[in-house]
Chain A
């Protein structure tokens, strides 16, 4: 099929090379369509017309636990798009998206999400989310699949999306 791609980019938001102009969400599952979207100045391809904020962030290697996604419009103010909110890529006036690092990010402790301010935090700050203290618990940070204990005297850099586990303190010098 010719001209199968739909293009959503700056100044051409509603341009549809295929000619179909339906906003029916059921049409998003149609195979072989691609939507070109501008995110942080980079053109990425989406396979659906109504992606969520999280899907769009993923296309540029980012996650909502650290970044927010902002819709940019031609003739109106920008709008924050929530991670689970769907957006119509053919929405009139949509120029594209930009991402911004959140100030309050999400980290995961023992597989549960917690909000925390980005920057340098202490082990105590993080354990306090669970009502625990370094005297009784060890804080582990998972990197590359291996949760390793964190020194209690060093700041922990929080960018968002970090994975932590707490474990009962079980060893000591003898």
Chain B
């Protein structure tokens, strides 16, 4: 039934957006949740229960169009509304600033000081005392701002 295949495709897309968003950000330069969902979903579409027994080209095209439409709608809402953008992308989180580590943020995001130091070393900062601020970005990367008189190699 055409309506059920369209609904399955839309549900599958939105469900994966939720899953990837809830699964959370991890340190490291990685795909954004949006990109991950698209690649994961489109790649696995033919092998999942979203297709069911309907393996026709018509079904595949209609489901891909449905996913594209859902993606466009979410991107539009994200652009128009800060609240939607926060829900879909999250917000940047400060991991370390002048006074010290943000312990709650670090534990909630399952990030250790070693993860921050790895990034700091890439920028030539020798130790933690050379870091002015460390921020976990919405796309999963950790950005380190060095102190003005930082300890650099």
Q: Do A and B bind each other?
A: no
